[in-house]
Amino acid sequence: MTPWGEALIAKYGAILTGWAIGTAAKYGLMLGEGRRVTLKVLLIDVLLMGMVVLLARWVIARLGLNPTDAATAAALIGLSSDRLIRMVRVWFLKRVDAELQQHVKAEIRQTAQMELSAERNLTDIATGKRPMGGE
């Protein structure tokens, strides 16, 4: 095996194993609840796999887990992947919404200030405090 392959297995082997076990457990729970595992469900999990593995890698790096604990954490993340992805998406959208609100508030403040300044200039010109040309 190449050194690149060995490094890849060392870094992601436990995570991918845990993800596979967790995803299989999720399918087992679905079958136990009487739901069918369809091609659509399989495709969704394949498409979500990259995000789930990245999320698992981030959690494991933050916690500094050994390979066995990393596989367990990845299995739990794989088991609850649909809920975790939904939770991360809601968290991200809340942050984006908060930033957008701050940006909109700043734009409104700036527009109001420009209107007040223009009104003040017109008043000053009308009362003779400021010359017409603005000099």
Domain chopping of the chain, boundaries: 1-79, 82-135
DSSP conformational letter for 77: H
CA distances from 6 to 3, 13, 16, 29, 30 (A): 5, 9, 14, 33, 35
pLDDT for res 34: 92
Dihedral sign, Cα of residue 68, residue 72, residue 75, residue 81: negative
Q: In the predicted model, what is the mean pLDDT of residues 38-58? A: 84
pLDDT tier, 47 (very low <50, low <70, confident <90, very high otherwise):
confident
pLDDT for res 39: 93
In the chain, alpha helices (H): 3-32, 39-63, 67-79, 81-127
